[in-house]
Chain A
Amino acid sequence: MKNGKHLSTEKTPSSKLSLAERITGTRTSGKSIQLMTHQILGYPDFETNYEMIRLFHESGVDLVELQLPFSEPIADGPIFLRANQASLANGTTTLKCLEFAGRVASDFPEISFLFMTYYNIVFQYGIDSFVKECATIGIRGLIVPDAYPEESDKFLEACREYNVEPIMIATPYTPDERLAYLSEQTGGFLYCAARKGVTGSKTAFGKETDEFLTRVRSQAKTPIAVGFGIQSEEDVRFLHGKCDIAIIGTQLLKVLEQDGLNGVKRFLKSLAVLH
């Protein structure tokens, strides 16, 4: 796919489509695997977040996960952990994040924006008000790793009421029965963590990943996204035909920190071959 190609293939105004429809819509338009990237809001600063998202847009990234920083990010590895804390030290607040998210959702309507955060951020804002605000500013889904679905009735209800998808996470250790339950609960897509552990370390993609994804496919009612440890074009190629979305998180932050925005541009180009 050429830069910005999705602009010309849009027929129905995409804002009216559900997240899953947007994902499958792009698939039927000939794209074999979609890319979801990630930003920790306020790190290194909102201006850089904006420039990164502009690059994502130019490169044809389909979905972007915007992480609202939290002081206790237990599911994140060292790189994201430090970015969370640096962002908070810079003075990032939930309100600034919402404002920024509203701006990029309106500036880059072809991208589906999601929030990733921890439950306390949603809880303190007010579950209902938070989800309602997400719907208003054009956030399409929420990834909240510690909103364990059995504990989060109010959260799931609010998501359904305002049509913001609650995205569940499955892992290779999730038993079949629970996989069925998560497939039932999730909206938009099912987030498959390719391995145990926290974000940011390498995953050895191989036979076990295949077995896991086969198991997921037999249960899933939505598109499937795979994340945790995707670091290169080779990893993305491995996932080709096995899932709908490849998620690149920590690697992009590493590239940004090492080689700046130009490095990110080059990295995205190396992936764009796939499109």
Chain B
Amino acid sequence: MSEKISALRSIHSEAAFLSENGYYGEYGGSYIPEILVPAFTEIKEHFEAIRQDDAFWQQYCALLADYSGRPTPLTYADRLTRHFGRARIYIKREDLNHTGAHKLNNALGQALLARKMGKTRIIAETGAGQHGVATATVAAKLGLSATIYMGREDMERQYANVFWMRRLGAEVIPVDYGSQTLKDAINEALRDWVSNFETTHYVLGTASGAHPFPSIVAYFQSIIGIEAKEQILRSAGRLPSRVYACVGGGSNALGVFQAFYPHEEVQLIGVEAGGQGKESGRHASRIAFGEGKPGVAQGYKTLFLQNNEGQMNDTFSIAAGLDYVGVSPILANLSERGRIQFSAATDAEVIEALEIVMKTEGLIPALESTHAFAGAFRDIAESSKSDIFIVNMSGRGDKDIFNIAEGLQDEEWKAFIHRKNAQFEA
């Protein structure tokens, strides 16, 4: 335990992704309405304090270990490796974290932070519903009340998660305007927060938003990379050649990249949602397609998909969790500095990659996480047998059964839904 604490602390001393002034190159900052200034001051002070607080870390690490089931394994994907016959592929299994995704690492950390600040209520936005479920879960575990904002379209895409959030005791509020996706859920959570900050902490789920949220989320997610680095050194005796992670806002990518960041020889690759491809205009790739432009919205400066006048574009992806108009300012900066490469996987490539992973490894990655696999598969032909790829499987795909069945055009499933429907109507 104390080893883990000191490993977490070492991230802080390396200060890879922590920023005192909130800027990562030209990106980041804190463009917040005046009413939120006291709330941000409070968070900054407490975040600073908990980083030095042994009791806090003991509690956090104990919950990660005994409640969430960490460390998650790093699985050697032998059949997948043989399938391509090139680089050895290892999979970081965030799907085995409690609630089935990496999201709990951050939700737990921030919920403990909220309790430290004397808040009794937490609110969150959610896209795929994983962060919503994680927040609802920690709220139940820590005795806080929770409200989750979710775009109406995302609720339809991820109804199983809506069901679980409500059953876990959280209030789920549909967001009915805009593109009805993640960005709109963030706006609505911010509106709640400006009215209720005295009792409420906003558990932002991704490494975006106003300072210090990118730092906080990257910090709590850094456990993924810390474990993965230890695990790969132990099992392969060396660092990987490449690490792949999907990028929506950027929380799982920053989580896994952080520990490898100081090792220049390790290539870090973020895979965005290519949707129906660059030409279609229906995608959520801010960096790989080169279409994101610097802008200021939702409290921070980053690359946004926007028109010439600064109105945000609608984004598209098969994966609700990647369907976001901005990107972590930390990633925007690391991309500009050339430390992280970006690619985008289309919906079709994702479905194809998913079938390969399911059949060779018996794993069902979330559609979000499958983007990371698709990115790795695209590059693998150029690799050699002496290379090692780590793919961060940020979450499990059971939640996606409706979308995956649709993507795979599974006739049996469709027939089952018809029967179920008839049964309810009877």
Contact = CB atoms under 8 A, between A and B. Distances in A.
A123 interface: yes
A175 B41 CA distance: 11
Contact of A77 (B191, B296, B299): B191
A170 to B, nearest CB: 7
Nearest to A122: B310
B93 interface: no
Interface in B339-364: none
A82 interface: yes
A171 B297 contact: no
Contacts of A145: 33-34
Contact of A146 (B191, B296, B304, B308): B296
A150 B34 CA distance: 11
Nearest to B22: A151
B311 interface: yes
B296 A125 contact: no
B253 to A, nearest CB: 23
Nearest to A197: B195
A173 interface: yes
Contacts of A147: 31
Interface string B298-320: 11000010101111100000000
Interface string B400-411: 000000000000
B195 A170 contact: no
A110 B13 CA distance: 60
Interface stretch (A16-24, A36-44, A66-74, A213-221): A66-74
A150 B37 CA distance: 11
Contacts of B306: 120, 124
Interface string B268-302: 00000000000000000000000001011111000
A148 B32 contact: yes
B312 A72 contact: yes
Nearest to A182: B34
B298 A72 contact: yes
Contacts of A3: none
B194 interface: yes
Given A74-B190, A94-B309, A170 B34 contact: yes
A168 interface: yes
B391 to A, nearest CB: 33
A227 B242 CA distance: 54
How many chain A residues sit at the interface, stated as a range, is 35 or more
A81 interface: yes
B5 to A, nearest CB: 34
A173 B38 contact: yes
B316 to A, nearest CB: 16
Interface in B26-71: 29-35, 37-38
B157 interface: no
A168 B35 CA distance: 11
Given A120-B296, A196-B197, A197-B195, A168 B310 contact: no
B194 A75 contact: yes
Contacts of B298: 72, 74
A198 B194 CA distance: 7
Instruction: Give chain B's interface secondary structure class.
Output: mixed
B187 interface: yes
Nearest to B191: A198
What class of interface size applies to chain B in its complex with A? 20 to 34
Contact of A148 (B30, B38, B312): B30
Contacts of B32: 146, 148
A132 B99 CA distance: 53
A174 interface: yes
Interface in A65-104: 70-75, 77, 81-82, 85, 88, 93-94
Nearest to A76: B191
A119 interface: yes
A120 B37 contact: no
A178 interface: yes
A120 B295 contact: yes
A113 interface: no
Interface string B184-195: 000100110011
A158 interface: no
A93 B304 CA distance: 18
Nearest to A68: B309
Contact of B34 (A125, A151, A174, A198): A174
**Of A168, A193, A198, which is in contact with the most chain B CB atoms at under 10 Å from its CB?**
A198
A124 B304 CA distance: 11
A74 B311 contact: no
Given A85-B177, A197-B194, A151 B30 contact: yes
Given A72-B312, A88-B311, A193 B34 contact: yes
A121 B34 contact: no
A189 interface: no
Nearest to A117: B310
A151 B29 contact: yes
Contacts of B33: 74-75, 145-146, 148, 169
Interface string A212-248: 0000000000000000000000000000000000000
A123 B295 contact: yes
B118 interface: no
Contacts of A56: none
A196 B195 contact: yes
A115 interface: no
Most buried by B among A120, A145, A169: A120
A178 B308 contact: no
Max chain B CB contacts within 10 Å: which of A71, A85, A88, A118? A71
A75 B298 CA distance: 10
Given A72-B297, A151-B31, A120 B194 contact: no
Interface of B: 29-35, 37-38, 177-178, 183, 187, 190-191, 194-195, 197, 293, 295-299, 304, 306, 308-312
Nearest 3 CB-CB pairings of A with B: A124-B310, A197-B195, A120-B310
Given A81-B177, A197-B191, 7 more contacts: A71-B178, A75-B33, A146-B296, A151-B29, A168-B34, A175-B38, A196-B35
22 contacts: A71-B311, A72-B297, A81-B177, A82-B177, A118-B296, A118-B297, A119-B296, A120-B304, A120-B310, A121-B309, A123-B310, A124-B293, A124-B308, A125-B309, A146-B32, A146-B33, A148-B34, A148-B37, A169-B35, A175-B38, A196-B194, A196-B195
